[in-house]
Structure formats: structure tokens, C-alpha cells
Amino acid sequence: MSQSPSLAYTTLVQKCNELTFIHSANSALHWDQETYMPPKALDYRSRQLAFLSGWAHKEFTSVTTGNLISECEQAGFSPDSVEGVNTRQLRHSYNKQTKIPSSLVEEMSQASTLARSAWVDARAKRDFALFLPHLGKLITLSQKMADYLGTGSCRYDTLMDEYEEGESAARLRSVFAEFRKEVSAFLPEAFELSKSIPGNLLEGYYPIEAQQKFNRDVAAAIGFDFEAGRIDTTAHPFCTELGPRDCRLTTRYDERNFLSSLYGVLHEAGHGLYNLGLPEEQYGLPAGTYSSLGIHESQSRLWENHIGRTREFWSLWHEKAVHYFPELKRHSPDQIARFVNRSEPSFIRVEADELTYDLHIILRFEIEYRLIEGDLKAQDLPAFWNNEFEKSFGLKVPDDSQGCLQDIHWSMGGFGYFPTYTLGNMNAAQLMRKAHLDHPHLNEELARGRYTPLLDWLRTHIHSKGKRFSPQELMKSATGEATNPHYHITRLKKKLDLLK
């Protein structure tokens, strides 16, 4: 016997809330693994995570859940209502997830947990062989996942759809080719201008404790709520949410370079602001979930680059930076701003300058496409990476830790994730342009350290929308047009003025 529409919806929401408890517990265990877990706990942790992942999958894909969604579909909720949005998106997820065996979900969870630990060890020892068997298994499991889902024109499109709904490798390859052509036209000038800025200008001793205090001050100033979050240390910076008011940021530290942790925190705080800005009453439901990773990355790249790399930022924060790092007193705000915008080929993606950053992403996109489509074998990855990297950057990769082992994503089975960084850059430039149009005095506000107007604009046009829209629909809603690479390219070209 079917329930009344309101009762069916209430029961469905209750079901999703219970599943969210499982997902939150899973996230807490993942966070602990990356921060404080003792090494010998790995085997048991991998089985814990596999069990919870499989359990949540079985519960969500049950006949009971499917029947509840069907009853809600028959209720006639308005498509634009919260009930309509949640029902529609839950149906979309249900139809996809029911194609995947729970056993595969468990196997993928356990394999990625073990792989992340192996990646950390391999990276530290600069030995790809330690990671190779794990990578090979994750590629095979990801291919199986894509075959079960079968939603794209190729396996890679299917996997990428999990991160960026509706995107395709064919379209991205065209967009990226044009982007590379445009940026390559002014990169030589940027490199030449950057030669006048010493690469070791800011080298010194920056105690970790001082970095932690400075980073916290900056994150709090842009709006991150430390009553609902914290910053910890890890091998690769990330942000995760353990609940509607529990957001965990991580970064890594280099005592010779305070900028690495600072920009890591600004990036992850951008993710955190998005997570904490989603509708809390809809937490665990589509209306309280982020739109896509291309949108999520737009938030992190916006705060990291459009705010953190400006002259205005360093004019404002110079005094506080000198307080924590006295040796910075010998450098003016303008000198620091020029330094953080200098451009040169480099090995590490997360420390790359803005002008070359997307070239790192395009490289990874092409490589992971080949891995998933079977055109590149896991054992051939280092040689292929090194060859392609030298073609793009003119540098010989000295070891795998500065090459194919530098990113955590493939150890998580995150094939299809990398393109969302460049999509995020494009979205960020477009969103900032519209925010400035809507607030003509925004630059003056930001120069005074008044970040609330920008955050409020993002809350209104992005965060509060949850998953009501597809990524491109959300960009149209916020800016009047779908993602347009032009604004990102124009902004990058203007950065040459900062180097003069």
C-alpha cells in the first residue's frame, strides 16, 4: 500500500538522513587516516571503510528506497520546489547506483584506502614500483565501474560524469587546445618579465607554529568559521565535511616557504566556505549538496588566486605577515605580490603559478584518459609522464615524487577529477567578473579586508542553490551565460601588468 505524498517524502528524507550518518562516519575515518591514524591500523581501517561503503550502497539501492522515490515522483511536486529537486536528483542517483554491485563498491573502497597509504610511502621514497600494483588495480576497478554505469560515450566520460555532470572528454579536449594556444602566446613574455624577480626572494626560516597562526588569521578573515572547522596537517592538502557544521581543512608545511601552506589553506578554505554555506536544513539531500566539482573548485581557486595573489591582499596583510615572519620586513607588499605572480615552468602542480597551472591539469587529463581507455598501461606511466612533461614544460623530471607520484587523486580512484580544476579556474574568473559588475565598489571593499560582500554574493548565487541546477545551469543563473573560458584567459593576460 502506497503512503500519502507527504508521508512518502518524509520517510525518504529520514532514509537519506540515516545514510548520511554512515557517509559522515566514513568521512571521519578517511580524515583520520590522512591525519592521525597510526600506520598499523591501515588493514582494519580499510575493512571498516569497505563495510560502511557497501552498507550505505545496499541501503540506498534497496527496493524500499526505489519505491519511496517512485511515490514521491507521483506526488506532483513542483520541479523547482525543494521536494521536487530532491526527488529528481535522488532518482538520478538511484538509477546510476543500482547498476553497480555493492561488492564492487566495497572492493573499490578497500583498494583505494590501501592505495593511499602506498602512495604516501612511494612518494616519500620516490619509488613508483611501490605504488604500481595499487594503481593497476584501481584502474581495473574504475574501468569496471564505468562499464556497469555505461552513461557516457566512453569509459572516461562515464567516470568524469561523477564529478562534472554532462561533461565530455571530446569537448574538453577542444576547449583545452584553444586555451593552450591562447596562453602559450603570452607565456614567453611572462617568463621573461619574471626573470627580474629572484626565485629565492622569499626563502628564509618560517616556523610552522607562526605559519599556523597566520593561516588561521587569514582563513578567519575571509569568513571560515573555526567554531565549525579546523586545520590539520597532511601529505596532500584537502577539505572534507563530517557534518553540516563540521568542516576539516588540511595543509602541509615547508619551513623555508610559508606560501605553500598559506595558499593551501586559502584554497581549502574556499572549499570549506562552500560546504558551510550550503543549506544546513537540507544536509545530506541534493538540495544541500554542491553542484559539481567544477563549481567547488571555482570557490577554492577564487579565494586562493583572485583574492590571495593581488596587490591589495599583500598591502592589507603585509603588517600581519611581518609580525609572524619578521624577515619579511625587508620586502614591500608590492615585491611580495610580484613574487607570488611570477611565472616559470615548475614540477609541482599545487605550487605552480597561475599562468602555467592549467598546463599541469591538461597533462593529467590526457594521461588519465589514456589510462582509463586502455591506451596507456600503468607500468608505462612514469616514462610517458616524463616525456610529455618535458614537451610541455621543457624540464626533465628528476624523480617520480616530482612527477607522476605528486598527486593523491589516482590513489583515491579519482579518475576524471583533474579537469574540474581548470573548469574551476574558468568559472572563478566568470563569477568574479559578475560579482564586480553587481558590486562596483567591490575592489575597495576587498582592499579594506571587507570580504563579506563577496562571500554574501557567492552564498546567494552559488552556495544556497545546492544541487538545484546542473553546473552549466548554475553558471547561467549566476552570471547569465554558461562557462566561458574567455574571462579566465583575459585575466591571465592581465597578470603580465603585475610583473612589470
**Looking at the annotation, which residues are catalytic?**
268
Phi, psi of 233 (to 5 degrees): -110, 140
- Looking at residue 464, its amino acid is S
Q: How, if at all, do strands 229-233 and 246-251 pair?
A: parallel
Distance CA 223, CA 272 (A): 10
Cβ neighbours, 10 Å, residue 153: 10
Distance CA 408, CA 421 (A): 14
DSSP 481: S
Distance CA 474, CA 470 (A): 6
Strand, coil or helix: 402:
helix
Kindly provide the b/e burial profile for residues 261-294, where b requires at least 16 CB atoms within 10 angstroms of the residue's own CB.
bbbbbbbbbbbbbbbbbbbeebbbbbbbbbbbbb
Element (H, E) at 172: helix 169-194
Strand, coil or helix: 233:
strand
CB 297 within 8 A of CB 471: no
Distance CA 169, CA 154 (A): 9
Q: List, as one string, the DSSP characters of 415-460.
A: TT-THHHHHHHHHHHHHHHHHHHH-TTHHHHHHTT--HHHHHHHHH
The single residue listed with the C-alpha cell 589510462 is 371
Distance CA 413, CA 333 (A): 41
Distance CA 129, CA 382 (A): 10
CB 8 within 8 A of CB 69: no
Distance CA 205, CA 413 (A): 37
The grid cell for 129 is: 614500483
Cβ neighbours, 10 Å, residue 438: 13
Which residues have C-beta within 8 Å of that of residue 169, sequence separation ≥ 6? 154, 156, 157, 160, 365, 369
